[in-house]
Copies of this chain bind each other. A is one copy, B any other.
């Protein structure tokens, strides 16, 4: 702790000169530089932008003594290996959707979204005050990581399809770029899920190697141009009623931070979480209009497809809970929360929205 000793000397000298109790200041504001690995490319100014917002907020609140340099997906860490890089200390922190890591354990999905899960406000309620974060943090701790909600897209769309989907039959043999738990659910309905990295999706769709792709919502999707070759754009994205992206921090690095910096980092992530959803909600409406003008066909999923997927999804959770104690532990809390939440949501919130939407 040599540097701190120097700082203490500085502060005491100052205090002696002016009778001002400064030691606490200097000890708690060391210069710290972190690297953040994002899972997202710079072109996704929404999600990549949220990590830049966190870095800006941390710098401003610490007078640039705590600085975080943000690297886009692939710059120093491949986009889907951010958790590993944070866990082993390659970077101090990352910005990623935890459901990318369901291959390690499906329990990760609760941090982001599970099919037919919560909407964005409900997800935040569960995480911040409904018991979600403490449960998730006990789980993330086994990966030497502490997680902070740090961006959210809102309800996503259900993807782009070359042909119309009129029934569950139309899903048979459909090659679709879709991952995680959602991939497991749709595979039970006959879809053949594919894992394809962002830049390779459009060519695969264009040359017919895949029939459909799910990505995000209008603003993000517009950039990738899917509407040109797969114009049927379905809603809602029932596997992503919300999509929380977390700030993942190496636990040792977190524990080493002065308390002041811990507070600044935590509230910067919370502020970015709120801000990112607000940004999506402002950017998606005009993007949806532009997509429609460009020929996109917005279509609701057939009720038959929604019903079948709903049944398969909750069957999958039950099965998973029977063999995975970590998943079961969170699932039971989450399920009770969801049930209670929906019983209230249908009263004031839903009816307010319903009236507004029927009187545009």
Interface residues of A (CB under 8 A from B): 6-7, 9-11, 13-18, 20, 22, 24-26, 28-29, 57, 60-63, 65, 116, 119-122, 124-130, 154-157, 217-218, 235-238, 241, 258-260, 263-264, 266-268, 270-271, 273-275, 277-279, 281-282, 284-286, 288-289, 298, 300, 306, 310, 339-357, 359-360
Contact = CB atoms under 8 A, between A and B. Distances in A.
A313 to B, nearest CB: 11
Given A7-B20, A275-B128, A281-B122, A155 B349 contact: yes
28 contacts: A10-B18, A10-B20, A13-B14, A24-B63, A24-B65, A25-B25, A60-B263, A61-B61, A61-B263, A63-B258, A63-B259, A120-B121, A124-B277, A125-B282, A127-B278, A154-B348, A218-B344, A235-B347, A241-B352, A241-B353, A270-B270, A281-B344, A284-B344, A285-B344, A289-B340, A298-B347, A310-B355, A342-B360
* Most-contacted residue by chain B among A6, A25, A63, A286 (CB, 10 A): A25
Nearest to A356: B342
Number of copies: 2
A155 B274 contact: no
B236 A347 contact: yes
Nearest to A266: B271
Nearest to A349: B155
A10 B13 CA distance: 8
A122 to B, nearest CB: 7
A51 to B, nearest CB: 15
Contacts of A157: 347-348
A350 to B, nearest CB: 6
Nearest to A339: B360
